Amino acid sequence: MHGWIQESGLKKKKLMFEKEKESIGITGEIAEDSYLEKKYSRSSLYKDALKRLRRNKLAMLGLAIVIALILIALFAPLLAPYDPIARIKADSSLAPSSVHLFGTDLLGRDIFSRVIYGSRISIEVGIIAVGISVIIGLFLGALSGYFGNIPDTVIMRIADIFFAFPYILGAIAIMTVLGPGVINIFIAIGILGWASFARIFRSSILTIKNKEYIEAARALGASNYRIITKHIFPNAFAPIIVYATMNIGTAIIVEAALSFLGLGVQPPTAAWGKMLAESLDYIDIAPWMMVFPGLAIVITVLGFVLLGDGLRDAFDPKLR
């Protein structure tokens, strides 16, 4: 019995092997070597990671949330039943119903539509602000890790200063100077986040820098630029992707906090933090005003956190 199962398993494998050979365009009598060569040259760190990621249910849930959010943000005008800033006086502070799914606020604006449009700000801030942090961090981290000595000391001491600021406090201070507005939020959060990326990239470089293949590349006469972009960058990129995904969640929370404090997105634009601030005075008469934007923030951040955790596990199974 047991033997039979094994044998049939073997047969199945052989069959799959034949099929796979066909699918990548090797048919007939071509030697097995070339098949294996083709197969293994295609599988890389990133492919393996992707495979592990697909098996992780929580990470897939996170990915689903993130994709759904991006779609909601893109197609907000199609999804929202009302204009997010249109005031309908007669509909002031209605409880959730079939007409207004999430109810309306004091000015008679439809909260469901505002929550949908609010996703735009959050996603924009998350991606652009973290993008700014990554770019600054990669540049300074590369300088620091690759060249060492004085650039390293100076950049890392500046990073220390940025680490000494509590995140929210720093963001508030910068927003006070720049004034409210979406672009300024990108800048404030972007500037505050670079130090962690610089450190991560720097330490990746330090561990890779002295490996034999880098030495070999240098012996072959590769330039600094080529070594950084072609050899170091692809190998140091995994931790950056992981950390960036997690940081998008943080950036969205900070943006909401800034808008909540009145330093971020200005009315009448729909932003979740701003909606919470507007609900603060009416939590006794219109509690639905605060429930839905808050849930939206929690679900969004949860999506990025789960995806980030999943990516971390996928890139480094040892960390589990």
DSSP string over 189-216: HHHHHHHHHHHHHHHHHHHHHTSHHHHH
* Residues at the interface with another protein (CB under 8 A): 156-161, 164-169, 172-174, 176-177, 199, 203, 206, 249, 253, 256-257, 260-262, 273, 276, 279-280, 283-284, 287, 290, 294, 297-299, 301-302, 305-306
Q: Which is nearer to another protein, 175 or 228 (CB)?
A: 175
Distance CA 184, CA 174 (A): 9
CB of 65 to another protein, least distance (A): 11
CB of 298 to another protein, least distance (A): 5
Q: Which is nearer to another protein, 151 or 262 (CB)?
A: 262
Burial of 179: CB neighbours in 10 Å, binned 0-12, 13-18, 19+? exposed
Q: Which is nearer to another protein, 82 or 195 (CB)?
A: 195
Q: Which is nearer to another protein, 82 or 272 (CB)?
A: 272
CB of 220 to another protein, least distance (A): 28
Q: Under DSSP, is residue 104 helix (H, G, I), strand (E, B) or coil?
A: strand
Taking alpha carbons only, the member of 190, 181, 185, 171 closest to residue 244 is: 190
Neighbouring CB atoms inside 10 A of 303's CB total: 24
* Residues present in the chain in total: 320
Q: Which is nearer to another protein, 182 or 258 (CB)?
A: 258
Q: Under DSSP, is residue 87 helix (H, G, I), strand (E, B) or coil?
A: coil
Query: Which long-range CB contacts under 8 A does 290-293 form with residues at least 24 apart?
Result: 292/102, 292/111, 292/112, 292/115, 293/111, 293/114, 293/115, 293/118
CB of 29 to another protein, least distance (A): 52
Q: Which is nearer to another protein, 89 or 157 (CB)?
A: 157
Residue 189 in tokens = 């959060």
Distance CA 116, CA 248 (A): 19
Residue 213 in tokens = 């293949």
CB of 204 to another protein, least distance (A): 10
Q: Which is nearer to another protein, 70 or 173 (CB)?
A: 173
Helix 57-74 and helix 45-55: axis angle, to 10°? 90
Q: How far from chain centre, in Å, is Cα 144?
A: 25
Q: Which is nearer to another protein, 72 or 200 (CB)?
A: 200
CB of 259 to another protein, least distance (A): 11
Distance CA 3, CA 20 (A): 25
CB of 320 to another protein, least distance (A): 10
CB of 6 to another protein, least distance (A): 31
